[in-house]
Amino acid sequence: MIDRALSSLFKVVTDEAVNNPAFGKRLEESFAKFGQELAERRLAERNVGEFHPFIEFRKGSPEDFEARLMKFDVKELRVIVQKHHLDPANSLKGKGAKKALVVHILEAARKRSERDAKLFEY
């Protein structure tokens, strides 16, 4: 049933794109933009690699960790936040400043480190 519904939907969209050149052009631009954003995200994910903020935080001082974070660009920092679920309340929303992202990741790693230290205190 879902196959028929999707087939019907795509038929309507393609017919409209053929009959309405302005719609077709907007649709094409939308797909191009989506493709570009996807390619940029994949590149950022590759650049981040296996960087894990909670592990990296424990390797040195908070200043060293902050310096390592500053080497990433904004898109890469956003990937770190999303990959490690560092913003479950979505408090960052539109904050795209590099410094705000670095501070957020640093605070999350510090809190996690303190919490883990208390959990494994015997």
Say yes or no: 75 and 24 in one domain: no
> Tell me: the pLDDT tens digits for 9-62?
889 889 988 999 998 899 899 989 999 988 988 988 888 888 888 888 888 888
Do 56 and 65 contact (CB within 8 A), yes or no? yes
CA distances in angstroms from 61 to 16, 36, 56, 64, 114, listed in the order given: 59, 37, 10, 5, 14
Number of domains in the chain: 2
Say yes or no: 36 and 66 in one domain: no
Say yes or no: 66 and 122 in one domain: yes
Say yes or no: 2 and 62 in one domain: no
Say yes or no: 60 and 118 in one domain: yes
> Residue 103: how many CB atoms within 10 A of its CB?
14
The runs of H, that is alpha helices, within the chain are 2-19, 21-48, 53-58, 62-70, 74-83, 98-119
Q: Which domain holds residue 3?
A: 1-40
CA distance 119 to 100: 28
Say yes or no: 109 and 60 in one domain: yes
Q: State residue 88's pLDDT score.
A: 76
CA distance 71 to 24: 41
Say yes or no: 73 and 15 in one domain: no
Say yes or no: 57 and 25 in one domain: no
Q: State residue 94's pLDDT score.
A: 67
Does residue 89 have a pLDDT over 80?
A: no
Say yes or no: 122 and 100 in one domain: yes
Say yes or no: 85 and 102 in one domain: yes
CA distance 67 to 8: 53
What is the percentage of the chain residues whose pLDDT exceeds 70? 97
Sorting pLDDT into bands at 50, 70 and 90, what band is 121? Answer: low
Say yes or no: 30 and 58 in one domain: no
Say yes or no: 96 and 119 in one domain: yes
pLDDT average, residue stretch 87-115: 82
> Residue 93: how many CB atoms within 10 A of its CB?
8
Q: Is the pTM value of this prediction over 0.85?
A: no
